[in-house]
């Protein structure tokens, strides 16, 4: 391989790492990643019987500037539990997350303060056995 070709491929690869995440996640439900890398209500993949207990429910209180994320999943110690909730903005940029302690937290419920933001938000709920689940709401 010639030096110029190697440099060109390196630059293309670097650019792809900056652009690809947004393109992959654009159109969350229609993405080929849905149902394989992450799961949604409409694309539960191999976990089709796990939607009710794993899909994060998002409650928005615009007046108080709060977002509550609830996963209807019991916490069975380290055997089976929700590891964390992550909140992302409309561009899939990190806002905040909460890690759960399955020995102390009775239920996977998180309240996020969200001021000076409007638009779509994405909540991720990560189960130690059944992967990452994604839901969306408007603020």
Q: How much is the pLDDT for 114?
A: 92
Q: Is 13 exposed, middle or buried (0-12, 13-18, 19+ CB in 10 A)?
A: exposed
* Four-point Cα dihedral 102, 106, 107, 112, nearest 10: -90
CA distance 89 to 94: 7
Domain count, the chain: 1
In a domain, 10, yes or no: no
Q: How much is the pLDDT for 3?
A: 53
In a domain, 1, yes or no: no
In a domain, 87, yes or no: yes
The backbone region for 123, taken as left when phi is positive above 0, alpha when psi lies in -120 to 50, beta otherwise, is beta
Q: Consecutive sets of 10 residues in the chain, 139 residues long: mean pLDDT of each?
A: 50 40 49 78 93 96 94 95 97 97 97 93 97 96
* Structural domain boundaries, residue 120: 28-138
Please report, for the domain that includes residue 44, its CATH number.
Answer: 2.60.40.730
Q: How much is the pLDDT for 5?
A: 53
Count Cα atoms within 13 angstroms, Cβ side, for 70: 7
Q: How much is the pLDDT for 89?
A: 96
Taking alpha carbons only, the member of 67, 63, 104 closest to residue 88 is 67
pTM over 0.95: no
Taking alpha carbons only, the member of 62, 74, 36, 60 closest to residue 122 is 60
Q: Which residues pair with 34 in a beta bridge?
A: 38
Q: How much is the pLDDT for 24?
A: 36
């Amino acid at each position: 391989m010639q030096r110029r070709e190697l440099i060109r491929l390196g630059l293309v690869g670097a650019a792809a790492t900056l652009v690809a995440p947004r393109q992959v996640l654009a159109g969350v439900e229609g993405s080929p990643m849905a149902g394989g890398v992450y799961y949604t209500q409409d694309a539960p993949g191999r976990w089709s019987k796990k939607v009710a207990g794993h899909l994060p429910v998002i409650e928005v209180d615009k007046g108080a500037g709060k977002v509550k994320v609830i996963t209807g999943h019991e916490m069975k110690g380290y055997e089976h539990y929700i590891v964390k909730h992550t909140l992302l903005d409309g561009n899939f940029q990190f806002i905040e997350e909460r890690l759960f302690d399955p020995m102390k937290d009775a239920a996977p419920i998180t309240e996020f303060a969200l001021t000076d933001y409007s638009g779509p938000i994405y909540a991720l709920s990560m189960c130690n056995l059944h992967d990452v689940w994604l839901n969306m709401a408007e603020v």
